[in-house]
Chain A
Amino acid sequence: MALSNVLDSPAAGFNFDNAARNAAFEGLFEGGQTPKPLKTGTTIAGVVFKDGVVLGADTRATSSEVVADKMCAKIHYISPNIYCCGAGTAADTEKTTDLLSSNLTVFSLNSGRNPRVVMAVNILQDMLYRYHGQIGANLILGGVDCTGNHLYTVGPYGSVNKVPYLAMGSGDLAALGILEDGFQHDLELEKAKKLVRDAVHSGIMNDLGSGNNIDICVITAEGVDYIRPFQESEFKDRREIKYKYRQGTTPVLTKKITPLKMEVVQETTQKMETV
């Protein structure tokens, strides 16, 4: 009775094919640097509280020193009771969480129940371990299931840590400082939301790669409250004037029309079947 995966279940034992392929890949660049993937430079945090789990994230996606997306969604849906924050390579976290979500949906349809958080963690760990760190996804998984409220982190090499509170991303050290100071077991909902907000805010203030707004996702046995944005950036710009120019702003000096002569080279007729 295997997991109801849509993909073929992988061959038993370790499979290092991809590691060999990647080593060969590096040879193609003749000693130069392999292309670096885009990273989101992020602050994400999660806290287990009395009735569930609170996840928080900033919304900035950077491409080197330019902010590529000011309202990027870093809290991904996995299943009705499990959400996942992703740090690391943007494409990797997106695809990995999508894949996980699809697999768990199939499982739910087959078994008629919501998946457990530990199941999501196991599937992720299997996959990331198989790719030996080549998938740059640092994920925080939080959810509520029949066994309780859980918060896990999965690293890009496939290591798993189960903890009551967590921060990841380039702003993690700043956020962790706030969490270490303010965390207590069995917090109330409002206090937990505030703690996560403060942690992400600290990451935004102290890390260049994090910024803009804060998203919060509260998961409880009753349901999910995805508040996007929970808090808007204090440094939002305000457009002073309109940037639309009316027709005639740029005067036309001369006009020259050159007709393009086209020759018929080939003529074919294809019957269209309309059934």
Chain B
Amino acid sequence: MLGEEAEPQWISEEVKTGTTIIAIEFNGGVVLGSDSRVSAGDSVVNRVMNKLSPLHDKIYCALSGSAADAQTIAEMVNYQLDVHSLEIDEDPQVRSAATLVKNISYKYKEELSAHLIVAGWDRRDGGQVFATLGGLLTRQPFAIGGSGSSYVYGFVDAEYRRGMTKEECQKFVVNTLALAMNRDGSSGGVAYIVTIDEHSTDEKVILGNDLPTFFDQ
């Protein structure tokens, strides 16, 4: 018998990316990382979603919050950045991309519920990471976001050192993601890593059983 309370959650629950995202800058580029879980209430809608979305060849953004809002912002900024890049006739700056994201996030602050971290490499300033939470714009050596980030603030604050190499940064990102995915119910699946530097943009997937393990496993 289908009662009123048997309404399935996926009908009314908004699809959230309930996430862990991280971006860190090194000398000559950036490393971005995310988990892959998309949830609607208690149900996992997509367990392999890549939340690292390209805004341009060497500028990526990491999505968190409401899946629809974040995807739409990323698409709009992708379009605006393409137009801007044609207008200035060169590759856009990371700061420009971050500003476009910030503009949307700030103007529609009340209506939207998504946070994007923008990171990339450009010729003028090298690797840069920008946080745009709530409509602010700030450049940081690294940024974390999403529901899983709460569990790893301590870890990143303790483990971050200035002047890490590309490989150390990649390891830092993978470790952070693994720890957060272990503790946060809304983060999980596989880890996507994107490394951007002057020469290449390198996308990688690390499957669940290849992630580093810590004391309780």
Interface residues of A (CB under 8 A from B): 14, 16, 19, 39, 41, 62, 64-65, 88, 125, 128-129, 133, 136, 138, 153, 155-161, 163, 168, 170, 172-173, 208-209
* Stretch of B7-15, B138-146, B202-210 contacting A (4+ beta carbons < 8 Å): B7-15
Instruction: Assess the B111–A19 pair: CB atoms within 8 A.
Output: yes
* Stretch of B22-30, B39-47, B94-102, B126-134 contacting A (4+ beta carbons < 8 Å): B39-47
How many Å lie between the Cα of A168 and that of B15 in the bound state?
A: 13
Instruction: Assess the B1–A65 pair: CB atoms within 8 A.
Output: yes
CB distance from B5 to the nearest CB of A (A): 12
CB distance from A22 to the nearest CB of B (A): 13
Interface residues of B (CB under 8 A from A): 1-2, 6-8, 10-11, 14-15, 38, 40, 43, 45-46, 48-49, 66-68, 71-72, 104, 108, 111-112
8 A-B pairs with CB atoms under 8 Å apart are A14-B104, A14-B112, A39-B11, A125-B68, A128-B68, A157-B67, A159-B15, A172-B10
Instruction: Assess the A155–B68 pair: CB atoms within 8 A.
Output: yes
Task: Known A155-B15, A158-B72; judge A163-B48 contact (CB<8 A).
Answer: yes
Which chain B residues border A39 with CB–CB below 8 Å?
A: 7, 11
Which chain B residues border A125 with CB–CB below 8 Å?
A: 68, 71-72
Instruction: Assess the A209–B72 pair: CB atoms within 8 A.
Output: no
* CB-CB nearest in chain B for A209: B2
How many Å lie between the Cα of A158 and that of B112 in the bound state?
A: 13
Which chain A residues border B48 with CB–CB below 8 Å?
A: 163
Task: Known A19-B111, A161-B45; judge A133-B2 contact (CB<8 A).
Answer: no
CB distance from B117 to the nearest CB of A (A): 19
Task: Known A163-B48, A170-B8, A172-B10; judge A157-B15 contact (CB<8 A).
Answer: yes
Taking each of A14, A39, A159, A161, which has the highest tally of chain B beta carbons within 10 Å of its own beta carbon? Answer: A159
Which chain A residues border B72 with CB–CB below 8 Å?
A: 125, 129, 158
* CB-CB nearest in chain B for A172: B10
* A-B complex: 5 closest residue pairs judged by Cβ atoms: A159-B67, A158-B68, A157-B68, A159-B68, A161-B46
Instruction: Assess the A155–B2 pair: CB atoms within 8 A.
Output: no
Instruction: Assess the A161–B10 pair: CB atoms within 8 A.
Output: no
CB distance from B46 to the nearest CB of A (A): 4
CB distance from A247 to the nearest CB of B (A): 40
CB distance from B162 to the nearest CB of A (A): 38
When the two chains form the complex, which single residue of A19, A136, A163 contacts B11, counting CB atoms closer than 8 Å? A136
* CB-CB nearest in chain B for A157: B68
How many Å lie between the Cα of A61 and that of B1 in the bound state?
A: 14
Instruction: Assess the A155–B111 pair: CB atoms within 8 A.
Output: no
Which chain B residues border A208 with CB–CB below 8 Å?
A: 1-2, 6
CB distance from B9 to the nearest CB of A (A): 10
Instruction: Assess the B1–A157 pair: CB atoms within 8 A.
Output: no
Which chain A residues border B38 with CB–CB below 8 Å?
A: 159, 161
Which chain B residues border A158 with CB–CB below 8 Å?
A: 68, 71-72
